[in-house]
Structure 1
């Protein structure tokens, strides 16, 4: 019998396993992952940005976890020699009506205790010579990293401490009992004292399999990208973002320098017809029917009809996608872009159509369900893991480590 079973081998599940060993060095841990490798879905398709936390409501989990997590992530990468770069980013106002929004965002960043600078068009040109803008916020602490590489290191740390990672293993049902939990998997059963659900795109289904009905559902939104051709990468020096539309939950198309040296442009955000649908042609009858019969989707669609329509236009029109990029860099042409792999975001939406905008953790009797871990979950993964471990019930009666900085700080 295991002390802990973690469902989901993405960056949040793996960071939780690492945090368990940091606090309970003698624990028996198993990570259950249905794919052939860890970090296969949201983590492996992540843009690789180390976020600062500037966008998030002061005092929210997202703001606190992001600010603390960006520092934890940098320290972890330094300690384990993982490629990363603190390249910084600029958030650019390209229209006069965006200036008040930029000012509000700057004030929010200061409330979140970030070391940021408000700069004018001249300073912006010095930082990003090819960007057109009336002004910007410079966020020097933003960076880039390969989160798959980070996750693989998390996994190796778990295994070094005696933990197991079971791949190609799917959870079918979870039975909570007074003394433990029985997990029905594709090949038999697993028994554990506590189950931690970090299943990302399937977190609501895993919660339901454990007998917990929530007032939310995970809906998949595909983020589609292009890459700049190698000869055009000089156009982007840092990370370049527009001022986000405060009425829309996504950040808008932007330019992201990758740790590989490539430059991604995007994403747009459209409903995927499959929870793991990375291509326009990917389709699951079950996933689509579940989404289309969910009242929360239609209520949300009504609120963002125009914005949603624009996203779909960009999805099918490279001309319109390019036009959006030209808002930031006028020199970009259609033939400067090549298709890039897409990602899928697990967005939790409530029955009333409102998006769950913060991390959301449900406590069961002997289960913990991370039912919403939106961006910046990768940046904040080390801090999220610590928070989950802090919520482990006292009745687990495990011996705690007195040297909690051996693995993670």
Structure 2
């Protein structure tokens, strides 16, 4: 048995804590907010991904396929709302067909239940969709990820874990036999630190004396939703063929568990690590991003994409036009703002986006430095991976 401090109370931090407690460890979870799953977990699309987008053999591919089953099984076992509804990935022009075929090949290589279908069959699933071909993915699901976190927190409390809300890690140091985490009023002594701090994971790593292999650059994803009288235009989930060079899937349409239909997200640089609105601004956060050389290299590489995303952020007409590529009957008046989320995207110094999960280790420390979507889908699998790596 070892004593472990987990920093971060989103789905990944709670899943890691749960797995370690199940293996007999004594665990403390530190969350700086007053409740669980406040940031990335509480602001995502609640989609359980199937695993078709990721290169065969990558951590995202293998963990998504396994996680798709394990997180759905967990929800069913704990009476958390979940619906395995499947989705369509649609090519709206002939130019997108080669990328769609690549996705179909990846799905087959990764063991994802998916098949190519023609426009007639696509409209049997989504009568209002426009496409020249589509990929039907059966195992995609919709789930309540914040409710999953509440169940995990209840499990941990029942099993005697030390759960600390309103508790931020202020300082970290490693001695020969222990790691110490100061929270402002107390110092916790443990055998191991696991950093699952999401948007602040690189900062926690530096606080612990590690030089992280990547830095976090926050991207805000803004959502609209269809007006209630227009929800009938979408039955399930409709996704575009994504740009393979980007980690973002493009604006898509998602019917939620409550029957609402969310549209989005886009991807714009956030001006604060927890910047959910344009007016959310932190001079410290902006300066940190500006000082990082990878930011400018990324901007140079994707300048046109970045400009397009900003335009879409500022123009409901443009946002609706992109949705209308998928469902032509959608008009600007049909969508209303529906909040946003911030993605903790890890960026290397050369300006490349870290595409796969990134976990960096040091003596008595494990740091999860890149775990954006599909990390919620993969949470139980990432937790097992970390627990296994700790034990060699």
User: Do the aligned partners of 1:54 and 1:63 also contact (CA within 8 Å) in 2?
Assistant: yes
Task: Give, in whole Å, the separation in 2 of the partners of 1:183 and 1:245.
Answer: 41
Q: Does 1:226 align with 2:224?
A: yes
In the TM superposition, 1:189-200 aligns within 5 A as 189-200=187-198
The aligned counterpart of 1:303 is 301
The aligned counterpart of 2:318 is 320
- How far has the Cα of 1:187 moved from its partner? 1.9
Cα deviations by residue, 1:188-247 (Å, 9 ceiling, x for unpaired): 211111110000000000000000012311010000010111111111111100001123
Task: Give, in whole Å, the separation in 2 of the partners of 1:2 and 1:387.
Answer: 17
The aligned counterpart of 2:203 is 205
- How far has the Cα of 1:185 moved from its partner? 1.0
Task: Give, in whole Å, the separation in 2 of the partners of 1:71 and 1:87.
Answer: 14
For residue 391 of structure 1, give the secondary structure of its aligned residue in structure 2: helix
Q: Does 1:13 align with 2:7?
A: no
Task: Give, in whole Å, the separation in 2 of the partners of 1:257 and 1:21.
Answer: 35
Q: 1:74 aligns with which of 72, 88, 105?
A: 72
Task: Give, in whole Å, the separation in 2 of the partners of 1:236 and 1:23.
Answer: 44
Q: 1:288 aligns with which of 286, 309, 315?
A: 286
Task: Give, in whole Å, the separation in 2 of the partners of 1:362 and 1:96.
Answer: 42
- How far has the Cα of 1:2 moved from its partner? 7.3
In structure 1, list runs of 5 or more residues that go unmatched. Answer: 395-409
The aligned counterpart of 1:181 is 179
User: Do the aligned partners of 1:274 and 1:283 also contact (CA within 8 Å) in 2?
Assistant: yes
The aligned counterpart of 2:23 is 23
Cα deviations by residue, 1:229-279 (Å, 9 ceiling, x for unpaired): 111111111110000112333111100111222110011100000000001
Q: 1:335 aligns with which of 321, 333, 336?
A: 333
Task: Give, in whole Å, the separation in 1 of the partners of 2:2 and 2:56.
Answer: 38
Q: 1:279 aligns with which of 268, 277, 280?
A: 277
For residue 292 of structure 1, give the secondary structure of its aligned residue in structure 2: helix
The aligned counterpart of 1:402 is none
The aligned counterpart of 2:349 is 351
Task: Give, in whole Å, the separation in 1 of the partners of 2:246 and 2:207.
Answer: 32
Give the TM-score taking structure 2 as reference length: 0.98
Task: Give, in whole Å, the separation in 1 of the partners of 2:101 and 2:145.
Answer: 31
The aligned counterpart of 1:215 is 213
The aligned counterpart of 1:398 is none
Q: Does 1:267 align with 2:276?
A: no
For residue 5 of structure 1, give the secondary structure of its aligned residue in structure 2: strand
Q: 1:56 aligns with which of 34, 50, 54?
A: 54
User: Do the aligned partners of 1:248 and 1:304 also contact (CA within 8 Å) in 2?
Assistant: no
Q: Does 1:254 align with 2:244?
A: no
- How far has the Cα of 1:393 moved from its partner? 4.1
Q: 1:163 aligns with which of 157, 161, 179?
A: 161
For residue 248 of structure 2, give the secondary structure of its aligned residue in structure 1: coil
The aligned counterpart of 1:87 is 85
The aligned counterpart of 2:152 is 154
For residue 347 of structure 1, give the secondary structure of its aligned residue in structure 2: strand
For residue 221 of structure 2, give the secondary structure of its aligned residue in structure 1: strand
For residue 376 of structure 2, give the secondary structure of its aligned residue in structure 1: coil
Q: Does 1:42 align with 2:46?
A: no
- How far has the Cα of 1:335 moved from its partner? 1.1
Q: 1:134 aligns with which of 128, 132, 135?
A: 132
* Larger mean Cα displacement after TM superposition, 188-197 or 220-229: 188-197
* Larger mean Cα displacement after TM superposition, 197-206 or 258-267: 258-267
Task: Give, in whole Å, the separation in 2 of the partners of 1:163 and 1:248.
Answer: 39
Count of residues paired in the alignment: 392
Task: Give, in whole Å, the separation in 2 of the partners of 1:247 and 1:362.
Answer: 24
Aligned residues: CA RMSD: 1.1
The aligned counterpart of 1:400 is none
Task: Give, in whole Å, the separation in 2 of the partners of 1:16 and 1:253.
Answer: 31
For residue 42 of structure 2, give the secondary structure of its aligned residue in structure 1: coil
User: Do the aligned partners of 1:358 and 1:374 also contact (CA within 8 Å) in 2?
Assistant: no
